Amino acid sequence: MTNPYRQLPSLDKLLARAELQPLIAQFGREAVRDEARALLDAIRSAIRAGEAPPSGDAIIVQLQDRVREALAPSLIPVINATGVIVHTNLGRALLSEEAKRAMIQVASSYSNLEYDLAAGKRGSRYIHAEALLTRLSGAEAALVVNNNAAAVNLVLRTLAAGREVIISRGELVEIGGGFRIPDILAQSGATLVEVGTTNRTRLADYARAISEHTGLLLKVHQSNYRIIGFTEEVEIHDLVGLARRLDRPLPVVHDLGSGTFLDTRPFGLAYEPRVQDSIAAGADVVTFSGDKLLGGPQAGIILGRKEIIARLKRQPLTRAFRVDKTTLAALQATLLAYLRGTATEEIPVWRMISTPAETLAGRARAWADALAQAGVRAELRPGSSAVGGGSLPGQTLPTTLLALPTDHPHRLLAALRAHTPPVIARVEEDAVVFDPRTVLPEQETALLDAIKHAMCA
Ligand SMILES: *Cc1c(COP(=O)(O)O)cnc(C)c1O
């Protein structure tokens, strides 16, 4: 009888194995040694419990898995086959080629981020993208911060801390991830005053609630839900009219959520409030996200009156919410596409929204043909894609789905997620379905490989 412990390699012998050198090059000798030591300890315990020692090759594979599981970067690209274009869990908007280029440029070189080139002295990062934003929206001034939640918080804190903020009961929304308007309000030091009912709020409800304690009137876009049936809401234009008629005029703040410069109706969708319409209606401040329908980087965009934006720029908290230089670079490039009038061709969110139904059907058919050649039976089914990102709730775009009928859809979904790159699909009836609308053409080969793998496993 040989001693089973003697069959285990020593730590040094193990680390000298040729198969482990790439792992050591990637993660460093110390980390691999720590994991190897822990693995050998675990194997010794298993032997004590009566198990047979694994082979040398099996130990290598276990160590590779262990190191990757512990140390491989957790944020990785995935294939979005869900058909939800602005998918918050999958990173929202993809950037245009120009935006990516601008990001790399400013990341690889010094820049005038906070330097005034004309004066040769310290400048402000808050001026970048401002001219483009005011040109596109008609607003007097603009400020970009880290995200829209920060934008709303900053605005409420600056304009209404210690005062009352009047908002319709139908607009006390939870955006997702626990982001609730009432909490943001409480957090900013303002007091919430709800008016109207869940389904109906009239101008008179706002008028009755206004007092000497009021700081501002807030309108929040019902981003991710819709109240239907017996409903009434006050338009931003009427709210502005009310606020201006007061002896002491109050600011009207419009949180648009998604915010778009383009009209959604020509794409077969309902009307999503446009940024420039809200400014034209007289809103004193408008806020929206950079990475929803705008199709740019994560950012919170604040537009509004010069004196209000100037106050926001002076607020100490603005520093904590400040935007990164690569974000500003990508945002400028994204905005230029709107200025050129080429947004629907250049910006992935809009390219996906505007992809013709025949193109999607053709791609799904090509996928089914390729899979058939590999012996995988797939069907084509009519389906619907969603815009997502807290915009256009209940609105869908017609598409053609590739469907894989299966008795165990959740097992198939898990196998697809375990692939490199992971594929995120969804279940519809008896099948796992894939929507070509959100799959990039350059990802198609990887997608089909993942499906073949998962179906044959
Ligand atoms: C999405 C959304 C927010 C939050 O925006 P982020 O950029 O995710 O911080 C705030 N308000 C509304 C109405 C939204 O739809």
Contacts of 229 (CB under 8 A, 6+ apart): 199
In this structure, what token pair is assigned to residue 454? 């998962």
Judge whether 155 and 253 are in contact, CB under 8 Å: yes
Domain coordinates of the chain in residue numbers?
9-71, 79-88+350-456, 97-346
Contacts of 429 (CB under 8 A, 6+ apart): none
| Strand ranges, E, within 108-170 | 115-116, 121-122, 141-145, 164-168
Report whether residue 254 contacts ligand 1, using a CB cutoff of 6 Å: no
- Ligand 1 centroid from CA 384, angstroms: 24
- Which of 446, 359, 430 minimizes the C-alpha distance to 399? 359
Strand extents, DSSP E, 71-208: 79-80, 84-86, 115-116, 121-122, 141-145, 164-168, 174-176, 179-180, 191-195
Ligand 1 atom closest to the Cα of residue 176 is: 1
93 in contact with ligand 1, CB cutoff 6 A: no
pLDDT value at residue 227: 73
Q: How many Å apart are CA 187 and CA 292, to the nearest integer?
A: 24
Q: Is 287 in the pocket of ligand 1 (CB under 6 A)?
A: no
Instruction: List the single range of 130-144, 152-166, 216-230 with lowest mean pLDDT.
Output: 216-230
Q: Is 260 in the pocket of ligand 1 (CB under 6 A)?
A: no
Judged against a pLDDT cut of 90, whether residue 162 lies above it is answered with yes
Predicted TM-score of the model (pTM): 0.93
Counting every residue written for the chain, the total comes to 457
Average pLDDT of the chain, as a whole number: 94
Residue closest by Cα to atom 3 of ligand 1: 257
Residue 173 pLDDT grade (very low, low, confident, very high; cuts 50, 70, 90) = confident
Mean pLDDT of 181-197: 90
**Whether 78 contacts 32, CB under 8 Å:** no
Structure-block tokens of residue 401: 């789905």
In the numeric block, which tokens belong to residue 236?
């931003």
Class of domain 97-346 (CATH, top level): alpha beta
Confidence of residue 224 (pLDDT cuts 50, 70, 90): low
Evaluate: CB of 153 within 6 angstroms of ligand 1. no
Strand-pair partners of 274: 260
Judge if the beta carbon of residue 436 lies within 6 A of ligand 1: no
Ligand 1 centroid from CA 392, angstroms: 14
pLDDT for the residue numbered 1: 55
CATH 3.40.640.10 correct for 79-88+350-456: no
Cβ contact 189:217 at 8 Å: no
Rounded Cα–Cα distance for residues 139 and 129 (Å)? 13
pLDDT digits (tens, 9 = 90+) for 367-423: 999 999 999 999 999 999 999 876 677 789 999 999 999 999 999 999 999 999 999
Q: Which residues have C-beta within 8 Å of that of residue 266, sequence separation ≥ 6? A: none
Q: Where are the alpha helices (DSSP H) in 203-274?
A: 203-209, 236-245
149 lines ligand 1 (CB under 6 A): yes
Amino acid (one-letter) located at 294:
L
CB of 90 within 8 A of CB of 78? yes
Residue 268, C-beta contacts closer than 8 angstroms, at least 6 positions apart: 397, 398
As given in the structure block, the two tokens for residue 133 are: 């934003």
Tell me which residue has its CA closest to atom 7 in ligand 1: 148
Distance 258 CA to ligand 1 centre (A): 7
Mean pLDDT calculated for residue range 43-69: 94
